[in-house]
């Protein structure tokens, strides 16, 4: 990596020059199958024609005016998202971290409105909510927090998926909200028990807490529904979105409903670039394409196909602890750290990621076909089998 860049990323030795659908080509002309989608960002694949056309047309028309003025495309996107999500209002920003930062500020406003002087948010072990100081503190990973003390106060942490642990805090006088990923992404594709979100919804209703869902990675069709919480037929008070919403164009959104509606008033929160005409045009093109091509259902079908394929190849393998996933959000947990598999997959022409030290994370674009899924299954299974044999 060049010394002109801050060395805060451990980058793979490859530079991509172009992409099309699920494929990327490097500067040497070699082709790679992208089973990571820029970490769940390019759900429609690379250089999608509808997004490219929307961006080109909007860039020739109007890119930015600031939020000092009406932005009709922002209004259209807000109406589209809130209607689809069963929410009421939207705030647009530039990233998932910003969307979650807005959620945490809403929680504090909610708490102060109830007379709570030190509002506290329940967050989960193994979660990931971003890299700003507040979202870093909310994140349940000590390694990510290391070196950044003092952290922000106002959080209490419980195990992900443990409804009883949340219920045990129901008498806590300072708790005002619960922030949770319906499926953890960075935390290793962990899926809570059925009924977990419904249980959280009931606890929040009883205690007067906000239910805040972080769907930065799981949202926008990836799990087989447009929003992951729709698998359980609940509605949150706050919903954070980003990644797949712009298919590579930086946009985040915080949707609000019920008691979270109206907490932000003029001057309480803002952004310079968030929700400008360019990013809103891209996001509207993404939503149009998802709907026209029924891509959430495609994600569900191909996710089931991948899980079945991995089960046939890897179930019972002594190095494989668990194969899990929902839609195209899949994790294969091994019995040992396996970060070197990322480089080995790259050498084999496949882009994957390893998270939580020993979970192979797969987030392919929602448009993958069966032949591409077969290639992912065969390459990953072969790498796992070879890795385990070498380590034996």
Could you give the residue numbers annotated as active site?
128, 214, 243
* Residue 152 DSSP one-character state: -
Among 160, 248, 235, which residue's Cα sits nearest to residue 205?
Answer: 235
Cβ atoms 220, 290 nearer than 8 A: yes
Q: Give the list of residues 6+ apart from residue 267 with CB closer than 8 angstroms, or none.
A: none
Q: Cα angle at 297 between 295 and 303, to 5 degrees?
A: 100
Cβ atoms 314, 384 nearer than 8 A: yes
Among 137, 141, 200, 195, which residue's Cα sits nearest to residue 166?
Answer: 200
Peptide bond into 258 cis (omega under 30): no
Q: Tell me if residue 7 falls in helix, strand or coil.
A: coil
Classify the phi-psi angles of 201: left when phi > 0, otherwise alpha if psi is within -120 to 50, otherwise beta.
alpha
């Amino acid at each position: 990596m060049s010394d002109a860049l801050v060395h805060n990323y451990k980058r793979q030795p490859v530079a991509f020059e172009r992409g099309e659908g699920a494929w990327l080509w490097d500067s040497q002309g070699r082709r790679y199958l992208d089973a990571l989608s820029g970490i769940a960002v390019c759900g429609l694949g690379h250089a999608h024609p509808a997004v490219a056309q929307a961006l080109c047309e909007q860039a020739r028309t109007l890119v930015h005016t600031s939020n000092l003025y009406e932005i009709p495309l922002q209004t259209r996107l807000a109406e589209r998202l809130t209607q689809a999500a069963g929410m009421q209002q939207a705030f647009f920003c530039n990233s998932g971290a910003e969307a979650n930062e807005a959620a945490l500020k809403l929680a504090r406003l909610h708490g102060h409105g109830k007379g709570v002087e030190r509002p506290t948010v329940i967050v989960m072990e193994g979660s990931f909510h971003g890299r700003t100081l507040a979202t870093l503190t909310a994140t349940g990973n000590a390694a990510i927090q290391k070196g950044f003390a003092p952290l922000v106060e106002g959080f209490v942490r419980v195990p992900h998926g443990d409804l009883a642990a949340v219920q045990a805090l129901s008498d806590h006088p300072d708790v005002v909200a619960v922030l949770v990923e319906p499926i953890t992404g960075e935390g290793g594709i962990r899926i809570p028990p059925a009924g977990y979100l419904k249980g959280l919804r009931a606890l929040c209703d009883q205690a007067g807490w906000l239910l805040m869902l972080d769907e930065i990675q799981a949202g926008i069709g990836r799990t087989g529904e447009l929003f992951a919480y729709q698998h359980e037929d609940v509605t949150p008070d706050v919903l954070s979105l980003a990644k797949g919403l712009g298919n590579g164009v930086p946009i985040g959104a915080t949707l609000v409903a019920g008691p979270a509606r109206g907490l932000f008033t003029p001057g309480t929160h803002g952004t310079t670039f968030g929700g400008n005409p360019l990013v809103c045009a891209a996001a509207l093109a993404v939503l149009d394409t998802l709907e026209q091509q029924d891509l959430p259902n495609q994600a569900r079908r191909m996710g089931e196909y991948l899980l079945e394929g991995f089960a046939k190849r890897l179930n019972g393998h002594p190095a494989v602890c668990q194969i899990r996933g929902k839609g195209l959000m899949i994790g294969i947990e091994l019995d040992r750290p396996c970060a070197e598999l990322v480089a080995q997959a790259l050498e084999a022409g496949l882009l994957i990621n390893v998270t939580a030290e020993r979970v192979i994370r797969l987030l392919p674009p929602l448009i993958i076909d069966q032949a591409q899924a077969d290639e992912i299954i065969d390459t990953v299974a072969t790498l796992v089998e070879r890795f385990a044999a070498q380590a034996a």
